[in-house]
Amino acid sequence: MGASMGFPWPVMRSDQSSERAAAGAKRSNPESLLVVTADISATPLSFPSSPSPVTSSTGGGVESSALPLWEYSGDELAAATGRYDGARRRLGQGQTGAVFRGTLLGHDGVAVDVAVKRFHDILSEEKMRLVCRDLRARRFLQDRNVVRLHGYGFCVRYRKLHLVYDYMPHGSLSQHLFAGAGSSAAILSWDRRSKIIAGAARGLHHFHSHGAVHGCVTASNILIDNDFTARLGDFGYSWSRRFRRRCTSPAPTGDIVRMSSETDVLCFGAVVLEVVSGRRSDLDDSGGGDGDRRRFRSLVEWVWALHEAGRILEAADATLGIAAGDDGGCGGGRRRDAVEAKKMLLVGLACSHPDPKQRPKIRDVVEILKSDGVQPPKVPPSKPKYQER
């Protein structure tokens, strides 16, 4: 691949990337740390990054180091994934692309398991040039609650982009949250659910604090670490046409909305409600459901109705056994879980406010979730009506 195929840029192989990145760092302006903005029209990709090797604080005393992105050749990625062996290597497939498990050399020269995302979109020559130029200028800012992006590659023959992430052996949140009968997925206790929600909020704050938007915060894009820490993944492809169609508002209308930090918060709110209730946003309960819930087109509408009736805790997953814990009829531990679940349901509704300007900032959500002493956000007694101007 590369110049020999007639494309107007040289291919930086993975064994050359560190040298190229070091040279680029010397030329970069140390005062210009970020090249990503929430205005995705200005850049083909969107993830927290820097053009120079910096250490950046993300809040709470946690620091993120910036690493260069490696460019892998098409041959390297094909070999790493067993030539995209669908039977043995495919981890999943969605509307934007397919993910395969592979093994590649990391920045330290040690072989690591990775997940290779191969996008369905066929890129024009101009788009490939833009994406390549953008990626070569980036250094990915790491964070504990974001899946690490190792690098990227192009298949010149089929004109498709590949992104290389950390491999997450426990899969996605949706695999655990919506596991069917007989599934080997681990049961999500309330403590695990609470930890996952807080971790996802911190991961999203990492994006927003560095001027980036995630663009598709869903349960399937929140991956689970070995200790059940949530890590946001499947980011960095806001240019994709399929991506724009897929990542729509969780509102019943399903209208396509412009990707922004407010949209990220809206989608995060939908995930919070899913985690607490154990139900999908579209209320597609394979096991059936009560007649009251079936009257609503979406999970958020149902929770708003329960909140208006003063029964919001009834939205909590019945398998957790905490729905009655807020009235003092349970032990201290169960009652504490009920209070926390009610707080998170209110957070979910606040993030789902129809008016984007009334939604909380994700930094405020992080503060609310990390301390019992911080009160939940003020939520209107009924769902506000909002007409977009």
Question: How far is 318 from 295, CA to CA, in rounded Å?
Answer: 19
Q: 121, exposed or middle or buried, with CB in 10 Å at 0-12, 13-18, 19+? A: middle
Binding residues: 117
Per the document, the length of the chain is: 389
The alpha-helical segments, DSSP class H, found in 59-157 are 74-80, 125-136
Give the Cα separation of 107 and 14 in Å (integer).
Answer: 9
Q: Quick one: the chain helix, strand, coil %, rounded to 5? A: 35, 15, 50
- Angstrom CA distances, 314 to 202, 284, 301, 302, 306, stand at 27, 18, 14, 10, 7
Query: Residue 59: which of 208, 277, 224 has the closest Cα?
Result: 208
Binding-site residues for ATP sit at 117
* Structure-block tokens of residue 263: 């949209």
Residue of 208, 219, 251, 221 whose CA lies nearest to 96? 221
Find all residues with CB under 8 Å of 310, minimum gap 6, and list them.
Answer: none
Cα 121 to Cα 105: distance, rounded to the nearest angstrom: 26
Spell out a b/e string for 348-370, using b for 16 or more CB atoms within 10 Å of the CB, else e: bbbbbbeebeebbebebbbbbbe
**DSSP readout, 146-191?**
B--EEEEEEETTTTEEEEEEE--TT-BHHHHHT--TT--SPP--HH
Distance CA 383, CA 354 (A): 8
Residue closest to 193 by CA, chosen among 368, 344, 302: 344
Which residues are paired to 160 by β-bridges? 155
